Structure 1
Amino acid sequence: MTSDQAVAPASRPAATPATRARYRRILRFAGWNLAVTWWYELFLPRIGLASVAARTRSKRMRRFAQRFHALAVDLGGLMIKVGQFMSSRLDVLPPEITTELEGLQDEVPAVPFPQIRALAEAELGVPLETAFASIDEVPVAAASLGQAHRAVLTAETAEHTGLSAVVLKVQRPGIDAIVDVDLAALRRVGRWLTHVRLVSDRVDAPALVEEFATTSLQEIDYLHEGANSERFAEEFAGDPRVTVPAIAWERTTRRVLTLEDVTAIKITDAESLRAAGVDPAEVAPVFAEVMFDQLFTNGFFHADPHPGNIFVTPHPDAAGERPWHLTFVDFGMMGEVPPGTRKGLRKLLIAAASRDGKGLVDAIQDVGVLLPTADTAQLERAMTHLFGRFGGMGFAELREVDPREFREFAVEFGDVVRSLPFQLPENFLLIIRAMSLTSGVCSALNPTFNLWDSVEPYAQQLIRDERGNVVQDVAQQALEIAGIAWRLPKRLDSLVTRVEEGDVAVSTPRLEQRVGRVERAVRRLAAAVVFGGVVIAGAIVHATDAVLGTVLLVASLIPLAFTVFTGRRGS
């Protein structure tokens, strides 16, 4: 997909009566709710009626979410995707909205099979009876952008692909036009939001819409989804925890995707898992670890890991320690974490596991969520207080906490958090969505699941990995300092030569003596820095590798001796 496709013009698409009605309905909904928000949140406080706005806020938010839920189910298309995105925005949206929308799924009726047949045959260029030995006309899944049917490949195609039982995924007819209309309406709403300081101070709405547009356009390109699937499979090649369905490229186009049928037990179907001899409580930490690997190590992650896209596939005859594995499907919505952001996320995870409030705030700044100008002292205090009171608690334990404690915390620190200049780095919406869905799936598998139980060992492994990086950094810096110190006398000698030749006007008869003192001082300083760096590296490594740690500690004696004896000679 080209950048021109990803960022389409903000103009309205070619109009038909249906698209015009859809476009106007979306804008009417957005316009009315923006007007209501302006009245209560901006106008009333200006005339001294802030208490009225505060008293009705919870009810208004809930009614908005309910009306949007109804709109999304009725319209389908990208409106359901918008609702799903909103449900994951726990960072900026109140719980009255996220709770109402968190159950929003693709609640749309299936497309009649004759329409699916017509589109698939036009894409594949052959009748379905030629392409498949059989096909089930009853869809296995119907979504807002497409629907899926089970099928069996012909013997010839099966021989070429190595597949037999497959799932045929076909776009909903006319979905391209619906996506164009929805994106045009959302872009216009995004421009409106730039004039609402309540929103524009917190987020770049047009940029957010464009990120959503890019993801949506990729999601309706099944060639892109197939390529994502194969890349994801390569990332986990040889990993017994994860499998990915193979793609039948001979029967795949931009609007039709044919893939291996890997249907198994839905990850949150606890009853079926137990019947298959799988303990749901054992699945939760493995799923969390796999998602952590994607976000913090691989940098290429499944951004839509809701229960319908993750299966648990039992294999009781396996000789390994885990007689089941996770099967991921639907790779239309994927995200990438740039190396810089990934490093910041690793730092954030380590700080969270260590209950380090200041480290957490530093990591948030590194990731780019906070602007560099933000005054973070109060936020550090809030995070320290949060860790001190609630750190390490699982969801079940948090539910037992007196709600008044949460309210007191919100009153004390809510204004601090809301006043900070937050921004959303690229792809951060998808990261938040992935982690939110991961948390929800783990809690559904085990209500007492404590995410810290998975975070802490993973963070400890990251710390061990980072130690190796620290040693490399210290060694590199020590070599750089040593190189500078070694080259400095030559530079000073060159300076003396230029002085003697009259290129530099200096009237100092004891210049050479002073240069000698500078040389010795700089070399002692460099040796001292190298000594300190090697000692620190040795101490860090010694915790996990006693032999290498001891070698480094002994090696540190060399620059120490140089520092001591050079100092004595020069005194």
Structure 2
Amino acid sequence: MSRLLRLGRILKVVGRHRLDDIIDADRVPRGVRLALHLNPFRLGARAEAQRARRLRQALEELGPVFIKFGQMLSTRRDLMPEDIADELARLQDQVPAFPAPQSRDIIEKALGEPVDRLFARFDATPMASASVAQVHAAQLQDGREVVIKVLRPDIEPVIRQDIALLFLLARLAERFLRDGWRLRPVALVADYEQVILDELDLGREAANASQLRRNFADGRLVYVPEVHWAYTRRNVYVMERIHGIPVTDLDTLRQRGTNLKLLAERGVEIFFTQVFRDSFFHADMHPGNIFINADDPADPRYIAIDCAIIGSLSEADQYYLARNLLGIFQRDYHEVARLHVECGWVPPETRVEDFEAAMRAVCEPIFEKPISEISFGQLLVYLFSTARRFDMEVQPSLILLQKTLLNIEGLGRQLYPQLNLWDTAQPFLENWLRERYSPQQMVKRLQYHVPSWLERLPQVPDAVFEQLLGNRQVPAANRRSSDGAMRRQQQRLAARRQRRQVAGVACAGGALLTVPSVQPLLSTLTPAGWFLIALAVVLLWPRAQED
């Protein structure tokens, strides 16, 4: 019943603001078109305000989930008309605020003391107000300037209601829309639910900010404000106050002579550093969360706030993503197709040659162009069209990364439209792969895993002998099988595996013999011992073709 009531409210807002005038009726399903036409709330409503303002006001009325959607659209000026993009940009930090007495009450309940005792100064008028929280300026008793982020009251029930409605729509889309299953809408909504619910915990956001600040401790590329943990709770977050120029204020940046080309290039470097060096990236980089320190116009630096949404990738995803991007940059479409099959992004039976040809058709038009002429949005449309042929499913684990890429594109367009994204990103990826597989890094990774391998090493001989006994006890069904060739092939593979395992155990034992003393083991392991350990791992590692 609550979902039906919420759906009714959505239809009411859509009708009252006459959003049916904005929607291109020819491009929506017939059922949606009929619902818009029969919506009783549109009767008598007049579209007096401009379309962009009506859309922005409707999204504000519908709440945080829809406001977030409007924020995302505001960064895609290549896809949105200019008037709509400008109006939706107001959703980034100009959402109507809730009353100051409510804000004071929330702070006092969270911190257990009156605001006047906690702070030397508290500004009741919010500095900014967004979809989930609003921000007040204040001063600590020791004189340090801070900002206080306060969660909107009673916001969680509204978000949960909207998420439940999104799940309903996702299930309908997955069942009834052509190719809807490939988008995996239910999985995507589940991921989005986790992300937006995490935003309701300001303590989690503060922890994210601390980690990001630590990752960029030198401050060369980006500065993250310090967290004041003594004043931070789940619904209140106090941080250092920063002073910078909004990244959208291009007039001020130009007046100061800011090097916008360098700024745009550093934005790309920050993104790739977060994704590949740290596997910890700010996934809500819309312009409302980004400021610029332009005190030195020749050396501008970013200031990042609002770290509620953070993404990360597994080592496997990092590797395949880097190799895929490099393959695209180098126009090695065969490598891109092979990697898609290898990492499971397309079904294993996919013909690499067919997928290679499809990728070439998608990617060739985008090269040798400045970013102003490249639309990642259009590229995603092309890739989805390609996916229809090859049954490629949307990867939920990469959704935040895709969203962040879209934000980076919108930011790059605003700062320096001539930026060549490929020339900026390619050297970074090449260096990352080179360093990742350098001898020094391989030794570090080996040292990291050796303790757990050594812990399991005493169990290896028993496992090998059990395997030997198991291979001798061939099932009766196999003994009666008339397929002698298959049986002989299995025996050869088993014998090869046994020889490899015995050699692996011997190498591991040889490594231990090179150790002059058992304690401490790692510090006394000789280079020859390290080599034998590595060889043992290679020999004992399971191989799919022998399983």
TM-score normalised per structure 2: 0.67
Once the 2 structures are TM-superposed, how far is the Cα of residue 469 of structure 1 from its aligned partner?
6.8
Decide whether aligned partners of structure 1 residues 186 and 29 sit closer, same or farther in structure 2, where only a CA change above 3 A counts.
farther
In 2, are the aligned partners of 1:151 and 1:167 still within 8 Å (CA)?
yes
Q: Within 1, Cα distance between the matches of 2:225 and 2:148? A: 12
Q: Which residue pairs with 2:391 in the alignment? A: 421
Q: Which residue pairs with 1:58 in the alignment? A: none
Aligned mate of 2:155, from 153, 175, 192: 175
In 2, are the aligned partners of 1:266 and 1:310 still within 8 Å (CA)?
yes
Gaps of 5+ in 1: 1-10, 14-19, 44-63, 159-163, 400-405, 477-493, 499-518, 523-571
Cα shift readout 1:401-422 (whole Å, capped 9, x = no counterpart): xxxxx99xx99x9854443323
Aligned mate of 1:392, from 368, 371, 396: 368
Cα shift readout 1:120-162 (whole Å, capped 9, x = no counterpart): 222222221111111222222111111111111112xx6xxxx
Cα shift readout 1:333-355 (whole Å, capped 9, x = no counterpart): 11111111111111122112212
In 1, are the aligned partners of 2:132 and 2:151 still within 8 Å (CA)?
yes
Q: Which residue pairs with 1:267 in the alignment? A: 247
Once the 2 structures are TM-superposed, how far is the Cα of residue 246 of structure 1 from its aligned partner?
0.8
Once the 2 structures are TM-superposed, how far is the Cα of residue 228 of structure 1 from its aligned partner?
0.6
Q: Within 2, Cα distance between the matches of 1:422 and 1:195? A: 18
The more displaced of 377-386 and 328-337 is: 377-386
Q: Which residue pairs with 1:343 in the alignment? A: 319
- Equivalent residue of 2:124, what SS? coil
Q: Which residue pairs with 2:331 in the alignment? A: 355
Q: Which residue pairs with 1:39 in the alignment? A: 30
Aligned mate of 2:125, from 138, 142, 146: 138
Aligned mate of 2:171, from 191, 205, 213: 191
In 2, are the aligned partners of 1:88 and 1:433 still within 8 Å (CA)?
no
Decide whether aligned partners of structure 1 residues 207 and 28 sit closer, same or farther in structure 2, where only a CA change above 3 A counts.
farther
Decide whether aligned partners of structure 1 residues 95 and 269 sit closer, same or farther in structure 2, where only a CA change above 3 A counts.
closer
Question: Any residues of structure 2 matched to 1:252-331 within 5 Å, and which?
Answer: 252-316=232-296, 323-331=299-307
**Residue-pair matches, total:** 429
Give the AA of the match of 1:126: E
In 2, are the aligned partners of 1:139 and 1:148 still within 8 Å (CA)?
yes
In 1, are the aligned partners of 2:110 and 2:235 still within 8 Å (CA)?
yes
Aligned mate of 1:124, from 105, 111, 123: 111
The structure with more radius of gyration = 1
Gaps of 5+ in 2: 15-19, 35-50, 447-467, 473-495, 500-547
Decide whether aligned partners of structure 1 residues 170 and 199 sit closer, same or farther in structure 2, where only a CA change above 3 A counts.
farther
In 2, are the aligned partners of 1:89 and 1:98 still within 8 Å (CA)?
no
In 2, are the aligned partners of 1:316 and 1:324 still within 8 Å (CA)?
yes
Decide whether aligned partners of structure 1 residues 429 and 315 sit closer, same or farther in structure 2, where only a CA change above 3 A counts.
same
Give the AA of the match of 1:211: D
Cα shift readout 1:482-524 (whole Å, capped 9, x = no counterpart): xxxxxxxxxxxx9xxx9xxxxxxxxxxxxxxxxxxxx9xx9xx
Q: Which residue pairs with 1:430 in the alignment? A: 400
Alignment pair present for 1:242 and 2:213 = no
Cα shift readout 1:87-111 (whole Å, capped 9, x = no counterpart): 7899xxx957999679453452121
In 2, are the aligned partners of 1:88 and 1:98 still within 8 Å (CA)?
no
Q: Within 1, Cα distance between the matches of 2:441 and 2:280? A: 27
Give the AA of the match of 1:169: K
Give the AA of the match of 2:395: P
Q: Which residue pairs with 2:417 in the alignment? A: 447
In 1, are the aligned partners of 2:345 and 2:395 still within 8 Å (CA)?
yes
Decide whether aligned partners of structure 1 residues 89 and 417 sit closer, same or farther in structure 2, where only a CA change above 3 A counts.
farther
Alignment pair present for 1:71 and 2:58 = yes
Decide whether aligned partners of structure 1 residues 444 and 339 sit closer, same or farther in structure 2, where only a CA change above 3 A counts.
same
Q: Within 2, Cα distance between the matches of 1:111 and 1:370? A: 48
Q: Which residue pairs with 1:25 in the alignment? A: 9
Q: Which residue pairs with 1:80 in the alignment? A: 67
Q: Within 1, Cα distance between the matches of 2:395 and 2:275? A: 15
Q: Within 2, Cα distance between the matches of 1:99 and 1:257? A: 34
Q: Within 2, Cα distance between the matches of 1:126 and 1:203? A: 49
Q: Which residue pairs with 2:518 in the alignment? A: none
Question: Any residues of structure 2 matched to 1:204-223 within 5 Å, and which?
Answer: 204-223=184-203
Decide whether aligned partners of structure 1 residues 65 and 273 sit closer, same or farther in structure 2, where only a CA change above 3 A counts.
closer
The more displaced of 249-258 and 377-386 is: 377-386
Q: Which residue pairs with 2:464 in the alignment? A: none
Once the 2 structures are TM-superposed, how far is the Cα of residue 430 of structure 1 from its aligned partner?
0.7
Give the AA of the match of 1:448: Q
- Equivalent residue of 1:258, what SS? strand
Give the AA of the match of 2:419: F
In 2, are the aligned partners of 1:27 and 1:185 still within 8 Å (CA)?
no
Q: Within 2, Cα distance between the matches of 1:415 and 1:65? A: 30
Once the 2 structures are TM-superposed, how far is the Cα of residue 375 of structure 1 from its aligned partner?
4.5
Q: Which residue pairs with 1:225 in the alignment? A: 205
Once the 2 structures are TM-superposed, how far is the Cα of residue 426 of structure 1 from its aligned partner?
3.6
Root mean square deviation of aligned Cα? 4.5
Q: Which residue pairs with 1:149 in the alignment? A: 136
- Equivalent residue of 1:447, what SS? coil
Q: Within 1, Cα distance between the matches of 2:108 and 2:359? A: 57
- Equivalent residue of 1:202, what SS? helix
Q: Which residue pairs with 1:54 in the alignment? A: none
The percent identity for this pair of structures is 27
Aligned mate of 1:115, from 102, 119, 123: 102
Decide whether aligned partners of structure 1 residues 194 and 316 sit closer, same or farther in structure 2, where only a CA change above 3 A counts.
closer
Decide whether aligned partners of structure 1 residues 243 and 87 sit closer, same or farther in structure 2, where only a CA change above 3 A counts.
closer
- Equivalent residue of 1:448, what SS? coil
In 1, are the aligned partners of 2:73 and 2:80 still within 8 Å (CA)?
no
The more displaced of 216-225 and 385-394 is: 385-394
Q: Within 2, Cα distance between the matches of 1:131 and 1:327? A: 27
Decide whether aligned partners of structure 1 residues 35 and 241 sit closer, same or farther in structure 2, where only a CA change above 3 A counts.
closer
- Equivalent residue of 2:438, what SS? helix
Give the AA of the match of 2:30: W
- Equivalent residue of 1:326, what SS? strand
In 2, are the aligned partners of 1:351 and 1:359 still within 8 Å (CA)?
yes
Q: Which residue pairs with 1:3 in the alignment? A: none
